[in-house]
Structure 1
Amino acid sequence: MNWVLWNDRLVKDEDIKLSKEDRGYQFGDGIYEVIRIYNGNMFTAQEHIDRFYESADKIKIVIPYTKDLFHKMIYDLIEANEVTSGQVYVQITRGATPRLHHFPITPVETVLTAYTKEYKRPVTEMVNGVAVKTIEDIRWLRCDIKSLNLLGSVLAKQEAYENGCFEALLHRGDLITEGSSTNMYAIKDGVLYTHPATNLILNGITRRVILTCCEEIGLPVVEQPISLATVLSNDEFFLSSTTTEILPVTTINGIKVNKGIRGEWTHKLQIALEAKIGQEVHA
C-alpha cells in the first residue's frame, strides 16, 4: 500500500481530494523539494528542509508546521512506505481559492502533499558519463526559488531529450548557468569552476556537499560563470543533482570532453560523495 502525506495526515493515495481551484494547479503557486533516501534514511534532510522553508518565505507562503514536526512527518511517510533506496517528493501550495492572480484576500489553508518512490542510483551513467546540449536559458530570474513553475526547465529538458541528450546545458548569452534540473561544473588545470549561488541558479544541496568534498580532496574552487565559448576547452565537465549525484559529462553538442571518458577529479569527487552517503564505491 502506498501512503501519501496530505497536510498533517498519512492517507491512501486514492483518498486525496485536491480542488480544481488549487493555486498550485492553476498558477504553479507553490514550492517543492526532492530528498534522497539511502538505507531508509534521508540524506542532508535538514539542508533540504531549510531550503524548503526559505523558498516558502521568498514567495510569502507560511508553512503551518515547525521544521522539527515537518521532519518527523516526512520520516513517518518513508517508514510507512518502507522505502530503503529512493526519494521523497514534497510540495506546498498557497491553497484553493477563487481564481485571482493576487494572493487570496481571506487567508486560506495551504495544501501540503508528499510521496515516496523507489529509485536506483544511475551507476552506469556515473561511470560512462552523459551527453548534454547547450540551450538558451529562458527561465525567469528567480531560479533560486524551488518553485512549481518549471515550464522553462521542461522545455529545455525536452529539447535535450529530442536530440539524444541526457540534459540541457543552459546559458544566458555567453555564460553557463546550470542544467534544467542539475548544477554544472567545469575543471580546468586542477581548478573547479561553477556558477555562484545567485538568483540565476538553484543552490543545489548536492552542489553544497560537492564544494565541501572539493576542500577535503584539495581541489580549489572558483565560483564564477563558465564561458560558453570556451566550454569545450575544459579538462573535465560534470553535473550533479539530488537524484543523479555526480555524472560526468562526456559530450557537449556531440563533441567529446576529455576524450569521452570520466575525468580523474570527477571520479575522486564521486568517491568522496559516496563516502558521505554511505554507499559502496563504484568502479
Structure 2
Amino acid sequence: MNWQDRLIALAIVVAWGFNFVVIKWGVVGVPPFLLGALRFSAAAGIGLLFVRRPALPWRWLLIYGLTMGLGQFACLFSAVKLGMPAGLASIVLQSSAFFTLLIGRLWLHEHFTRWQLGGLIVGGSGLYLIGGLGAAGIPPAGFLLTLCAAGSWAVSNVVVRRIVRAGYKPEMLGLVVWSSLAPILPFFALSALFESSAIHWQQVVSGKSLFAIAYLALIATLFGYGQWSKLLSRHAANVVAPYSLLAPLVGVLSAALVLGERLSFWQLVGGVVLIGGLVVNMLGPRLLALLRRPALGRA
C-alpha cells in the first residue's frame, strides 16, 4: 500500500472513530430514532444521485438495510442516549467481529480456525471485564443495547457473505447507499410512536444537531464507506482490514479530549483485552510468522 492510500485509510479510521463523539452530540438535540431517520434520509438522498444501484434483488438491499441500518443504529443511538460512554461504545461495538463468527457458524455452517476461536475467547474475556468488573458507571441498558448493535452489525456482515454465496458481487458503497432506503420509514415510524413528545424542533435544527446529521451521513457513511471500498478494490482485504483496529483507539482518545470521558481501570483493561482478541482473530497467523522469522534467521 502506497503512502497516499495509507493516509486515506487513516483518514477513514479517524472519521469512524470520531463518529462516536458526533453521535453523543447528536442525541442531545435529536431523539435516537429521529436521528437515525434523518441520517439515512440524508445519506440516501445525496448518495443515490451519484452511486449506481448494485446488481442485487431488492430483498437483499432490504435485509441488509434493516440489519446494518435500523438494527445497528437504533440500538447504538439509544445506548448513547441512555448514557453509554462514547469511547467505550466504540470499543464494545467491535465485538461484532466475534458475533459474526458465531452467527456465520450457525447460519452458514462456517468453521472456526484456531486463531478465530482464540480471538473469540480473548475478546469474550474483554467483554466480561468491561461489563462485569468495569460495570460501575455504565448503564446496564446502554451496555446491552451496544451489544445488540454489535450483534445486528454482525448479522449484516453474514448477510453480505450470503449475498456473495448467492453469486452476487456488490460494491460496498452501492450496497450501503441503496440499502439506506430501507431503514428510513421504520425509523420515522418508531420516532412517531415513541418520541413525539421528546422532539423539540428548535434543537433538531440547531447548528450542532445539523452538523451531527451531516457528519453521520456524509463523512461516516459516504466518505468512509466510499473510500474504504476503493481501498479494498486496490488492495487485499488482509492489508486494509487491520486499519479498522485503530477506530476504537480514535474513539476513546477523541471522547477523552472532546467530551472529557475517562475509562475506569477495568474498563481500560477490558478494552485492551477485547481489541487484543480482534488482533488475534485478524492477524494471528501473520504475527506468528513475524515472530518466527528472526528465530529461523538465527537457526
* TM-score of the pair, normalised by structure 2: 0.24
Q: Of Structure 1 and Structure 2, which has the larger fraction of its residues in helix? A: 2
Task: Name the structure, 1 or 2, with higher relative contact order (CA <8 Å, separation 6+).
Answer: 2
* TM-score of the pair, normalised by structure 1: 0.25
